[in-house]
Amino acid sequence: MLGRHVYQEIYDALQELEIGILVNVAAVHYDHPQYFVLIPLLRLLQILDENVSAATVMTYQLLPQMLERQRGAVINVCSQISCLPPTPLLSAYTASMVYLRSLSECLQLESRRRGVIVQTLLPGFVASSTCRPTFFTPSPTTYVRHALATLGVASITCGYWPHSIQSWLTSCLPQWLWVWVVSLLFRRHRLQSITLAKEQGVQAWRCFYSFLVKTTKHSWTSV
Ligand SMILES: NC(=O)c1ccc[n+]([C@@H]2O[C@H](COP(=O)([O-])OP(=O)(O)OC[C@H]3O[C@@H](n4cnc5c(N)ncnc54)[C@H](OP(=O)(O)O)[C@@H]3O)[C@@H](O)[C@H]2O)c1
């Protein structure tokens, strides 16, 4: 977990450097959709530390030197989810993204006349190493290429035009329909993930137990 002393150390180290671009991209997600009261406290604090505090403090520390030089850019990677109607079972993550989007938009208004760009990126799904990229779920490389092309052009953007289409389509849905569909999907996803984790836990215990039995037998026969 990030401690306050870390920020002072980072601040001291950065004062010597001329930083032109800050990208606030680090974020903590949920392992699976979860009810707010069931999120482990440590994970909740991580979400606040990394998604909210770290982005805020890093911007606070680096923006002054950019404003002084009258050039530079801060790119805040938020999420499309921050523009959607309330998303149950992702409460703390969604709230952290709404915070970052709001901060980013305000800072853009404060800084634009002083030559510094503060861009808000609102990506949809981006493929991870475990899933194949598709048209609507680009690889990180494709997403970054598209997103960088928008720097200096759009201050708030999905960064990838198929995501903008998704965003527009979702915004056309009535809020009740969105909440109903998302609740249904996320509740199902939550139960599946919990069942899978339990099965994997049982499997791991079985492996561990048979390993223990084999090792004990082996030690007895060697004796
Ligand atoms: N992936 C998506 O589909 C998606 C969709 C919408 C929005 N986003 C947003 O895009 C951003 C990146 O998401 P992602 O899916 O790429 O997440 P990710 O794969 O988990 O990557 C997060 C990055 O943050 C770094 N990080 C996390 N905790 C850190 C810490 N305590 N100190 C230093 N670095 C830390 C990680 O470093 P390591 O590599 O060293 O772990 C990693 O480079 C997030 O802001 C997320 O909200 C992602």
Per-residue pLDDT of the chain (223 residues; tens, 9 = 90+): 556 789 999 999 998 899 999 999 999 998 899 999 999 999 999 999 999 999 999 999 999 999 999 999 999 999 999 888 889 999 999 999 999 999 999 999 999 999 999 999 999 999 987 789 999 999 999 999 999 999 999 999 999 999 999 999 999 999 999 999 999 999 999 999 999 988 887 777 676 566 566 666 666 555 5
Mark whether 183 and 136 lie in a shared domain.
Answer: no
Name the residue with the closest Cα to ligand 1, atom 38. 26
In contact, 122 and 83? CB cutoff 8 Å: yes
Ligand 1 atom at minimal distance to the Cα of residue 26: 24
* Residue 71 CA, ligand 1 centroid: distance in Å: 26
Longest CA–CA separation in the chain, Å: 81
Distance CA 82, CA 101 (A): 7
Mark whether 161 and 64 lie in a shared domain.
Answer: yes
Helix, strand counts (H, E) of the chain: 7, 4
Range of the domain at 127: 4-172
Global confidence as pTM: 0.87
Taking CB atoms and a 6 Å cutoff, what residues make up the pocket around ligand 1? Answer: 25-27, 50, 77, 79, 123, 125-126
Name the residue with the closest Cα to ligand 1, atom 8. 79
Mark whether 156 and 178 lie in a shared domain.
Answer: no
Q: Which of 172, 62, 148, 60 is nearest to 106 (CA)?
A: 60
Mark whether 89 and 114 lie in a shared domain.
Answer: yes
DSSP state string for 106-140: HHHHHHGGGTEEEEEE-------TTS---SSS--H
Name the residue with the closest Cα to ligand 1, atom 21. 26
Q: How many domains does the chain have?
A: 2
- CATH number, domain containing residue 69: 3.40.50.720
Mark whether 51 and 149 lie in a shared domain.
Answer: yes
Ligand 1 atom at minimal distance to the Cα of residue 81: 6
Kind plus residue range of the DSSP H or E element containing 72: strand 72-77
Distance CA 50, CA 25 (A): 10
